[in-house]
């Protein structure tokens, strides 16, 4: 038990260290997101649409695209250089490997992106009372997106991440619809506690189930 | 010598194309095994079946006891954007620092510790990938073409280490296109 | 015991023989039911008070919509059989069903668009049910694309099965979408627990059409799965005897 704990902690530390060193992998998407959010107001007629309205209209898809780009090659390098193979031989399954990758992605990609989104929400003059709801929505939304994108990446690992995105986008759309509805309710100042509960539940289930499914899919590719 | 594995009539095929046909072998401790065959003969496939990465299409592998194993394949699981030292800290498990330093000196990699891995030559990268056989402790080492990319001097170093491992009661299984001059049981595929 | 029960149905050779034996009956039944259902529905059912004769497209739209979703559930069942018991025939049937599901979804969207123009003045609306059906269409397309992009068929069968099972989370959303969002789409006319909201003289030919499409899709399934089996098993010795 202690050995397993040490092993898991080592794996988390290793993943965190690798991601920290691969600066373009975590910083690139944040910069890209920022550029998109800066560019958007320049492309529209601000007299006819308010900044806050624009933010709520574009934020979900911008975050989705940023998530896709930020985990575009999450398993690719590890698959081709044999790291995943080594993990499988060491642990006889890939659950720990995928779970550690997910945890580090949440800490080093999702949370910073959420923070920057909130900064832009303020810059776009979104009602300050919305910010806590937005923060929670963005975290849940990204956890669901990232889990699906991990699965998409895993399923098409040797065919490129675009195929994976095409395969899982239909499954991501309902989440997009749900969070779009949440933002509509927010705009209309309708409480969204039930959506928060549902989204939190879905993200927990997604983390558990999709980690399992992604691990099985990666193992299948190694066979 | 202890029995570790019984490989019984293993066959493997993809899309009805047979890669391995009825391979049987008993694997014991204190022994070295060599799988020889040309390209596509199924050497790597057999290693992966032994490692339980892939299931055989037919036959089975009977495990007499559980044991730890280390696989060093064609691929080099070290990251180009990290230095050699940073890579080894992630790649290696349960190793002694002094043993690692001795190994790096033996393999002429000591001065390259702070070099970006992508800046090393292919031969140096291969040597780095083989470091676990010097510093890690496992009951079985499975090496897929361990000598590829190495010069003669380093091939001899690796061979010596493999012999030493067998002398310590470990099992070494390696694959090769041509017979290596080592005292081992050979399986032709 | 369960594995033995499944294995007796799992042989592609036995399945092909059954296909050949039952195809003509199933296909004929489908044609007969379709003829009865459509002739009754198009020529003899009364005109709708609100929509006039345009509503008669339901004899195409409703069966295709129902089967678009039902086929996915059936694929999910076979995907479980394939993954748990490694039955190759189940993978072949999933592939065959994917093509039929794709066709059915396309027909549902197409007929829905035609119905929308005279009734609601629009051929497309981003409402929940229509959008969810489009998503289902993309899912079928994705499955077929995934399977066709791998050279290793055993691996692609299993990946497809995994994707089918993961995709089933979308199905309850499609089913419940009319309840969750207030939209342009009319509420479901037929539910399992309540009596239907359409007249009985329209309802009976509709049910006959639904049964007809069931038979036709099964016969299409026989044909598709036969093609897939003959392609995939072409190196086996029993194929020469069969052909």
The pLDDT tens digits for C18-28 are 888 899 999 99
Other Cβ atoms closer than 10 A to C54:
16
Question: Is it the case that residue C178 has pLDDT exceeding 60?
Answer: no
The pLDDT tens digits for A60-73 are 999 999 999 888 88
Q: Which of B4-8, B178-182, C27-31, C130-134 tops mean pLDDT?
A: C27-31
Distances in Å between the alpha carbon of B167 and those of B47, B103, B170, B183? Answer: 22, 19, 7, 12
Question: Is it the case that residue A153 has pLDDT exceeding 50?
Answer: yes
| Record: contact A177-C128, CB cut-off 8 A | yes
Q: Could you tell me the residue ranges of all domains in chain A?
A: 2-222
What is the rounded CA–CA span in Å between residue C50 and residue A16? 64
| Burial of residue A27, with CB atoms counted within 10 A of its CB: 0-12 exposed, 13-18 middle, 19 or more buried | middle
Which chains have at least 3 CB atom pairs separated by less than 8 Å from chain B? Answer: A, C
The minimum CA-CA distance between B44 and chain C, rounded to whole Å, is 17
Q: How many CB pairs under 8 A join A and B?
A: 48
Candidates A21, A86, A223; nearest CB to B82: A21
Q: Does B45 touch chain C (CB under 8 A)?
A: no
| Record: contact C236-B15, CB cut-off 8 A | no
SS3 C188: coil
Summary mean pLDDT of chain B: 90
Question: Is it the case that residue C108 has pLDDT exceeding 50?
Answer: yes
Summary mean pLDDT of chain A: 89
User: To 10 degrees, what angle do helices A131-155 and A95-105 make?
Assistant: 140
The minimum CA-CA distance between A222 and chain B, rounded to whole Å, is 7
Question: Is it the case that residue B37 has pLDDT exceeding 60?
Answer: yes
Q: Tokens for B39?
A: 């390209």
ipTM: 0.88
B131 and B100 Cβ atoms separated by less than 8 Å: yes
The pLDDT tens digits for C136-174 are 898 899 999 889 888 788 888 999 999 999 888 767 765
Question: Is it the case that residue C184 has pLDDT exceeding 50?
Answer: no
Q: Provide the percentage of residues in chain B whose pLDDT is more than 90.
A: 60
The minimum CA-CA distance between C186 and chain B, rounded to whole Å, is 49
C82 band by pLDDT with thresholds 50, 70 and 90: very high
The minimum CA-CA distance between A180 and chain C, rounded to whole Å, is 12
Residues B6-29 have a mean pLDDT of 87
Question: Is it the case that residue A161 has pLDDT exceeding 50?
Answer: yes
Q: Tell me what pLDDT residue C211 has.
A: 96
> Among residues C145, C141, C136, C146, which one has the least CA distance to residue C167?
C136
C5 band by pLDDT with thresholds 50, 70 and 90: low
CA end-to-end distance (rounded Å), chain C: 33
Residue A183: enclosing H or E segment and its boundaries? helix A161-187
Q: Which residues of C touch A220 (CB under 8 A)?
A: 155, 158-159, 162
DSSP summary character for residue B145: S
Q: Tell me what pLDDT residue A53 has.
A: 83
Angle CA C95–C101–C106, to nearest 5: 135
């Amino acid at each position: 038990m202690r050995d397993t704990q040490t092993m898991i902690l080592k794996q988390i530390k290793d993943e965190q260290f690798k991601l920290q060193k691969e600066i373009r992998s975590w910083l690139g998407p944040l910069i890209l997101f920022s550029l998109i959010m800066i560019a958007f107001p320049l492309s529209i007629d601000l007299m006819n649409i308010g900044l806050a309205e624009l933010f709520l209209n574009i934020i979900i898809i911008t975050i989705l695209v940023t998530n896709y780009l930020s985990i575009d090659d999450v398993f690719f390098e590890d698959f081709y250089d044999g790291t995943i193979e080594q993990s499988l031989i060491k642990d006889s399954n890939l659950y720990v490997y995928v779970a550690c990758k997910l945890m580090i992605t949440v800490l080093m990609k999702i949370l910073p992106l959420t923070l920057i989104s909130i900064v832009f929400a303020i810059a776009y003059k979104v009602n300050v009372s919305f910010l806590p709801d937005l923060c929670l929505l963005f975290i849940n939304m990204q956890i669901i997106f990232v889990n699906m994108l991990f699965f998409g990446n895993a399923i098409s690992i040797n065919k490129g991440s675009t195929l994976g995105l095409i395969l899982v986008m239909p499954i991501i759309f309902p989440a997009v619809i749900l969070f779009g509805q949440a933002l509509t309710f927010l705009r209309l100042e309708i409480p969204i506690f039930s959506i928060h509960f549902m989204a939190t539940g879905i993200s927990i289930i997604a983390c558990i189930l999709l980690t399992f499914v992604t691990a099985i899919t990666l193992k299948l590719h190694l066979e | 010598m202890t029995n570790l594995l019984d490989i019984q009539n293993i066959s493997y095929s993809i899309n009805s194309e047979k890669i391995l046909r009825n391979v049987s072998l008993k694997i014991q401790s204190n022994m070295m095994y060599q799988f020889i065959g040309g390209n596509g003969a199924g050497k790597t496939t057999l290693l992966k079946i032994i490692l339980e990465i892939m299931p055989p299409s037919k036959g089975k592998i009977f495990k007499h006891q559980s044991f730890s194993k280390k696989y060093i394949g064609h691929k080099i699981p070290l990251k180009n954007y990290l230095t050699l030292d940073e890579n080894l800290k992630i790649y290696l498990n349960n190793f002694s620092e002094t043993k690692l330093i001795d190994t790096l000196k033996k393999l002429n990699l000591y001065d390259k510790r702070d070099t970006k891995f992508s800046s090393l030559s292919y031969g140096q990268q291969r040597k780095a990938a083989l470091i676990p056989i010097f510093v890690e402790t496992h009951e079985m080492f499975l090496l897929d073409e361990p000598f590829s990319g190495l010069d003669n001097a380093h091939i001899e170093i690796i061979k010596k280490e493999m012999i030493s491992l067998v002398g310590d009661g470990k099992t070494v299984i390696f694959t090769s296109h041509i017979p290596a001059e080592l005292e081992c049981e050979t399986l032709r595929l | 015991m369960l594995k033995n029960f499944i294995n007796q149905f799992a042989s592609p050779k036995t399945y092909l023989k059954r296909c050949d034996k039952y195809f003509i009956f199933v296909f004929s039944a489908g044609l007969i039911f379709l003829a009865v259902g459509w002739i009754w529905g198009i020529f003899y059912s009364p005109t709708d008070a609100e929509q006039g004769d345009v509503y008669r497209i339901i004899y195409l739209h409703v069966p295709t919509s129902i089967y678009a979703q039902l086929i996915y559930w059936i694929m999910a069942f076979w995907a479980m059989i394939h993954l748990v018991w490694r039955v190759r025939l189940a993978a072949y049937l999933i592939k065959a069903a994917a093509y039929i599901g794709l066709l059915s979804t396309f027909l549902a969207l197409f007929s829905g668009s035609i119905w929308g123009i005279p009734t609601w003045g629009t051929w497309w609306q981003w409402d929940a049910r229509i959008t969810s059906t489009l998503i289902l269409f993309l899912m079928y397309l994705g499955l077929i694309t995934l399977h066709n992009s791998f050279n290793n068929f055993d691996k692609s069968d299993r990946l497809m099965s995994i994707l089918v099972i993961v995709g089933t989370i979308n199905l309850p959303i499609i089913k419940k979408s009319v309840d969750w969002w207030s939209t342009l789409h009319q509420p479901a006319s037929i539910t399992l627990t309540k009596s239907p909201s359409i007249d009985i003289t329209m309802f009976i030919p509709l049910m006959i059409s639904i049964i007809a499409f069931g038979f036709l899709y099964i016969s299409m399934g026989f044909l598709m799965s036969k093609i897939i089996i003959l392609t995939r098993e072409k190196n086996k010795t029993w194929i020469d005897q069969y052909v």
